[in-house]
């Protein structure tokens, strides 16, 4: 008989199809008994009730000092005047040296304590969790996770999606205090963990050594159907991107648009199609908006993503070459890649050579990779993919086979369930610790 532990999820993102974290959690927990799953979240987007109907949302009203200080700063010091529209998207909050005033303020506000309502404690105790799964990612979320785990007497399983521990609030003397508190709270939380989760093999391997805790890799779980090659491969070649434009991804897509335009000037027939949340559309440069070789498709609901991707000839993955963002995403495995592969479409990966996602595409032969920011290199990749129908089919088939073997939802969910059940059975930390000092 399958044993499902009672899991409380704590995450900024709700379990839904609105973010990479939400999608990954949702696909792993899909089919989990409703009575054994609950979530505390911060996002304004509600959870998918078909996966997790039992949830509690915290917001700024639960952080009184945060609310008061923001009003004071906004009203009196006026430190939150709008920045350049792309500047605040240059790096994730608290990451890198080129921080905006808004990002610095957010870092200090992260120190503000959460006032946990009495009702939340009663709700959590009545749920009787056996384990907490948390994406952490901020001081307040880490502290909330540790506090709830200690009061409820249950272990924590941290789930990392990016390398924020080594980049967040780093390299800025103004943020020395937030960085110190972040490290202290993370160390406290990890002492409650019998095991950890990471969203790539590279991250799991590095974090196992860094944190002296056994980490296991769990990527996005996908439904893998029968292989079907792309129809109309001899017509216009569609390079399709679906996802956010933050973390400088708009800049990489702009490079690709220029390369596709140049390829078309040489007589090839290609198009870049971009689907992205409406809030990210202002990041798109005018020359992309004005190009007759670029189509901006707007946002796509979770249920329609597969149909949009299946209509593509080539699926696009991009990462930033910016140093701060590069460090932040270096170990991350894109939520989209398993879905790309499951549909049997080749991938064009454009980003730094040390990125886990870009390396994966190249190492596994499921796409064409460009690891330098040179127009000539990107143009050559576009020409190659446009000109060789057989290559596109070969790469797409290779990706589909890997998705069937490694990311099929039934296998991933079964492994996930067994790992969490095993973590509940362990005495906190005894069997997973490797015997070395904790390093953060």
What are 244-285's pLDDT values in tens digits?
898 899 999 999 999 999 999 999 999 999 998 888 888 999
For each of the domains in the chain, give its residue range(s) and CATH number, in order of start.
Answer: 7-68+72-221+409-425 (3.40.50.2000), 237-406 (3.40.50.2000)
pLDDT of residue 2: 62
pLDDT of residue 100: 65
What are 359-410's pLDDT values in tens digits?
999 999 999 999 999 999 999 999 999 999 999 999 999 999 999 999 999 9
Q: How far apart are CA 200 and CA 232, in angstroms?
A: 34
- Mean pLDDT of the residues in the chain: 86
Cβ neighbours of residue 211 closer than 8 Å, sequence gap 6 or more: 190, 196, 438, 439, 440
DSSP type of residue 317: E
pLDDT of residue 420: 96
Given a cut of 90, whether residue 66 has pLDDT beyond it is no
pLDDT of residue 20: 86
Given a cut of 70, whether residue 336 has pLDDT beyond it is yes
Q: How far apart are CA 57 and CA 45, in angstroms?
A: 10
Average pLDDT over residues 302-307: 79
Of the given ranges (81-90, 119-128, 215-224), which has the lowest mean pLDDT?
81-90
pLDDT of residue 60: 65
pLDDT of residue 81: 40
pLDDT of residue 111: 86
Q: Which residue has the higher pLDDT, 295 or 71?
A: 295
Angle at 21 between CA 255 and CA 244, to 5 degrees: 25
pLDDT of residue 231: 59
Q: How far apart are CA 431 and CA 337, in angstroms?
A: 33
Q: Which residues pair with 40 in a beta bridge?
A: 10, 56
pLDDT of residue 49: 94
Given a cut of 90, whether residue 56 has pLDDT beyond it is yes
Of the given ranges (66-75, 346-355, 422-431), which has the lowest mean pLDDT?
66-75
The rounded percent of the chain whose pLDDT value lies above 90 is 64
Average pLDDT over residues 149-170: 93
Prediction pTM value: 0.85
Given a cut of 50, whether residue 9 has pLDDT beyond it is yes
Complete edge-to-edge strand list for the sheet that includes strand 314-318: 294-298, 270-275, 237-242, 314-318, 347-350, 367-370
pLDDT of residue 304: 81
What are 141-158's pLDDT values in tens digits?
999 999 999 999 999 999
């Amino acid at each position: 008989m399958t044993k499902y532990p009672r899991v409380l999820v704590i995450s900024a993102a709700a379990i839904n199809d609105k973010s990479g974290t939400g999608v990954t959690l949702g696909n792993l927990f899909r089919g989990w008994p409703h009575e054994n799953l609950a979530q505390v979240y911060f996002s304004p987007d509600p959870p998918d009730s078909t996966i997790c109907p039992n949830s509690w949302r915290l917001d700024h009203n639960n952080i009184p000092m945060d609310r008061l200080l923001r009003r004071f700063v906004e009203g009196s010091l006026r430190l939150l005047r709008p920045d350049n529209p792309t500047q605040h998207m240059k790096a994730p909050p608290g990451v890198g040296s080129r921080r905006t005033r808004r990002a610095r303020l957010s870092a200090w506000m992260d120190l503000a304590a959460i006032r946990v309502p009495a009702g939340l404690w009663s709700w959590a105790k009545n749920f009787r969790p056996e384990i907490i799964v948390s994406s952490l990612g901020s001081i307040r979320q880490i502290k909330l996770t540790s506090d709830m785990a200690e009061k409820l007497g249950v272990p924590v399983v941290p789930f990392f999606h990016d390398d924020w521990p080594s980049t967040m609030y780093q390299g800025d003397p103004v943020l020395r205090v937030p960085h110190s508190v972040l490290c202290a709270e993370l160390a406290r939380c990890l002492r409650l963990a019998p095991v950890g989760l990471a969203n790539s093999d590279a991250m799991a391997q590095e974090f196992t050594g860094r944190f002296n805790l056994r980490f296991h890799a769990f990527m996005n779980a996908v439904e893998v159907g029968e292989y079907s090659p792309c129809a109309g491969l001899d017509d216009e070649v569609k390079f399709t991107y679906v996802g956010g434009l933050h973390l400088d991804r708009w800049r990489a897509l702009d490079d690709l648009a220029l390369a596709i335009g140049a390829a078309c000037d040489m007589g090839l027939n290609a198009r870049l199609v971009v689907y992205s949340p409406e809030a990210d559309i202002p990041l798109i440069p005018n020359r992309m908006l004005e190009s007759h070789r670029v189509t901006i498709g707007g946002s796509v609901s979770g249920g329609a993503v597969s149909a949009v991707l299946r209509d593509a000839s080539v699926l696009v993955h991009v990462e930033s070459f910016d140093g701060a963002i590069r460090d932040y995403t270096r170990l991350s495995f894109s939520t989209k890649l398993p879905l790309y592969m499951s549909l049997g479409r080749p991938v064009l990966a454009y980003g730094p050579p040390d990125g886990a996602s870009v390396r994966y595409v190249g190492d596994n032969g499921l796409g064409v990779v460009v690891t330098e920011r040179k127009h000539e290199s990107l143009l050559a990749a576009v020409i190659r993919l446009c000109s060789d129908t057989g290559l596109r089919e070969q790469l797409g088939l290779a990706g589909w086979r890997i998705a069937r073997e490694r990311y099929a939802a039934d296998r991933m969910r079964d492994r996930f369930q067994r790992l969490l059940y095993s973590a509940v059975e362990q005495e906190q930390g005894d069997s997973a610790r490797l015997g070395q000092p904790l390093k953060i």
